Amino acid sequence: MIEVVTAISLWELVKHTGSWVVNLRRAKDSRKKESMDALRKVVLAARKTSVYMRQLQDTEKHCHQSETELSLLWTELGYALSDLGIEKLSKRCLVVGKHWADPAKMEKLFLEKADVGLERMEQLANQLLKEIC
């Protein structure tokens, strides 16, 4: 059977479509903000790690608390980026997180091949930020 479209049902359809579009835009803005926040955190994590590595070179003493924090920070970033669909950077963050969980276990050659240098990580994050903005 064909349903009669009344002015009231047409208005409901228009109203529903309008709110759907507004929600879609809001979701896009929200996702954009989440992506920007996560990418900025990658830059901050790279800088925090760089400071720790400089301290490590100066004192030659590992700080397990700092390494725990770095491991968790990079791992959380990896998961957040994966949730946002930023997979290449996510995988790199997860590798860095695993490295800081036990720095002696990861081979230097593997880390070089994984392309997880702090400069490179920061560069990738900043490049993606430019694309989003």
pLDDT 10s digits, 43-72? 999 999 999 999 999 999 999 999 999 999
User: What is the C-alpha to C-alpha distance for residues 113 and 117, in angstroms, rounded to an integer?
Assistant: 10
pLDDT digits (tens, 9 = 90+) for 3-26: 444 455 455 545 544 554 455 456
- Domain of residue 98: give its range: 7-132
**What is the reported pLDDT for 29?**
83
In a domain, 2, yes or no: no
Compute CA distances 27 → 20, 30, 31, 38, 129, whole Å: 10, 5, 6, 16, 18
In a domain, 22, yes or no: yes
In a domain, 128, yes or no: yes
Please give the tally of structural domains in the chain. 1
Give the alpha-carbon dihedral of 90, 95, 101, 103, to 10 degrees.
-150
| Structure token pair of residue 15 | 């109203």
